[in-house]
């Protein structure tokens, strides 16, 4: 790919690595593109944040294609992952330590499959308090880390598919197809609660955004390898 192509605008599919923020990926690619082509300034942005503990498809736009970011963000997304039943964490994932444990002895495969039906369609969902949503000019996670209680409003989201792909209690693997604004961490938490137990997310991978698939994505390292070297 040429300097002119990057400046004119490209859509890059990147497989975000574990423990990277989405902004770290954007900053790394921007730096590497600038260095490879000796560009002083280039617009680079991403279409849809992934948590540091999630991996998978990140759409990165350069140049004039950054104007399309909002369009990509509104598209349907697909995720796969693992929910651990019987315990909860304040962040609803592994960012924080387990704070409560619950019995799972009553949970059967039939109950799990039946409970998924409660989460199909348009539902009201409360975002995790450990999230980047802004309230009164601050991120929610800033309130959470300071130990401050804050009122969070629910939002309407749509879950098209909630499929259980494997059960090996306390872990269950799933596939979800959902709308913009869906928090899979909240789904894991709410699903555990609906099973009269706890639940938190231990693995999350975004596999699709609209027609884009993670199977077509490059790792950060591979993308950099393909850039011209000085």
Position 145 scores a pLDDT of 67
Position 134 scores a pLDDT of 66
- 216 in the same domain as 205: no
Contacts of 182 (CB under 8 A, 6+ apart): 77, 125, 157, 158, 159, 176
- 86 in the same domain as 53: no
Measured CA to CA, the distance from residue 57 to residue 216 in angstroms comes to: 9
Position 135 scores a pLDDT of 64
- 205 in the same domain as 130: yes
Position 148 scores a pLDDT of 67
Position 176 scores a pLDDT of 98
Contacts of 34 (CB under 8 A, 6+ apart): 40, 41, 42
Range of the domain at 104: 77-209
β-pair type (199-209, 55-62): parallel
Position 27 scores a pLDDT of 96
The answer to whether residue 230 sits within a structural domain is: no
How many other C-beta atoms can be found within 10 angstroms of the C-beta atom of residue 205?
19
- 58 in the same domain as 11: yes
Q: Total structural domains in the chain?
A: 2
**How far apart are the two ends of the chain, measured CA to CA in Å?**
15
**Catalytic sites, residue numbers:** 51
The answer to whether residue 217 sits within a structural domain is: yes
User: pTM for the whole thing?
Assistant: 0.91
Measured CA to CA, the distance from residue 45 to residue 31 in angstroms comes to: 12
pLDDT tens per residue, the chain (230 residues)?
A: 888 999 999 999 999 999 999 999 999 999 999 999 999 999 999 998 898 999 999 999 999 999 999 999 999 999 999 999 999 998 999 988 999 999 999 999 999 999 999 999 999 998 887 666 666 666 666 666 666 676 778 899 999 999 999 999 999 999 999 999 999 999 999 999 999 999 999 999 999 999 999 999 999 999 999 998 75
């Amino acid at each position: 790919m040429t300097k002119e192509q990057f400046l004119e605008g490209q859509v890059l599919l990147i497989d975000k690595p574990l423990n990277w923020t989405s902004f770290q990926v954007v900053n790394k690619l921007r730096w590497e593109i600038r260095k490879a082509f000796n560009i002083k300034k280039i617009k680079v942005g991403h279409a849809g944040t992934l948590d540091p503990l999630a991996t998978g498809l990140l759409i990165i736009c350069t140049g004039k294609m950054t104007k399309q970011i909002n369009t990509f963000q509104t598209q349907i997304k697909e995720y796969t992952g693992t929910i651990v039943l019987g315990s909860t964490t304040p962040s609803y994932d592994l960012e924080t330590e387990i704070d409560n444990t619950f019995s799972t002895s009553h949970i059967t495969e039939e109950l799990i499959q039946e409970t998924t039906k409660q989460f199909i369609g348009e539902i009201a969902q409360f975002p995790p308090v450990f999230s980047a949503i802004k309230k009164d000019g601050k991120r929610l996670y800033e309130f959470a880390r300071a130990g401050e209680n804050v009122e969070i409003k629910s939002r309407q989201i749509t879950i098209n598919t909630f499929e259980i792909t494997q059960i090996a209690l306390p872990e269950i693997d799933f596939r979800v197809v959902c709308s913009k604004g869906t928090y899979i961490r909240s789904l894991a938490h709410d699903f555990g609660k609906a099973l009269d137990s706890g639940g938190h997310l231990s693995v999350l991978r975004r596999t699709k955004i609209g027609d884009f698939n993670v199977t077509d994505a490059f790792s950060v390292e591979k993308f950099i390898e393909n850039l011209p070297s000085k």
